[in-house]
Amino acid sequence: MRKGNKLTSILGFKCPHCHEGEFFVDRNPYHLSTVGDVLDHCPVCNRRFTPEPGFYYGGMYVSYALAVALFAIVYIAMIVFFPDAPLWADAATVITALIILSPLIYAVSKTIWANLFMHYKGPHRTGEE
Ligand SMILES: [Zn+2]
């Protein structure tokens, strides 16, 4: 994906300012001890990732929206592909999908939230903003 496109930052877990530096301490959201740990500064452009204390609490709204969307997609897929499945099987499949994908949803919700408020400024290195 080209730089300047927010999807580069959101799905690649890259800095929202330069789309080059890493955003998380650990890129793999399934390393549960570090999932969602955001670096203080971008290692490439040196811009801060936390504009104010508690900034990423807002990511909960994004996380909720993603979880509801996943719920709907999995539930509709169950109804379309397995119309005779009992309700408990639909519920078990939806809950299993939510549990398995929750670390990924958590990480993506933070990059989406950051990209709502931080915009592409190019890779040149700056002092702290
Ligand atoms: Zn950067």
Which domain range does residue 56 map to? 6-117
Give domain status of residue 129, yes or no: no
Give the pLDDT mean for 31-46.
94
Tell me the C-alpha distance between 72 and 93, whole Å.
12
For residue 70, which phi and psi values (nearest 5 degrees)?
A: -65, -45
Distance 14 CA to ligand 1 centre (A): 8
Distance 23 CA to ligand 1 centre (A): 8
- Residue 66: its H or E element: helix 59-81
Give domain status of residue 123, yes or no: no
In this predicted model, what pLDDT tens digit does every residue of 70-105 receive, in sequence order?
Answer: 999 999 999 999 999 999 999 999 999 999 999 999
Total number of domains in the chain? 1
- Stated pTM of the model: 0.89
Distance 67 CA to ligand 1 centre (A): 28
The two structure tokens encoding residue 58: 């807002």
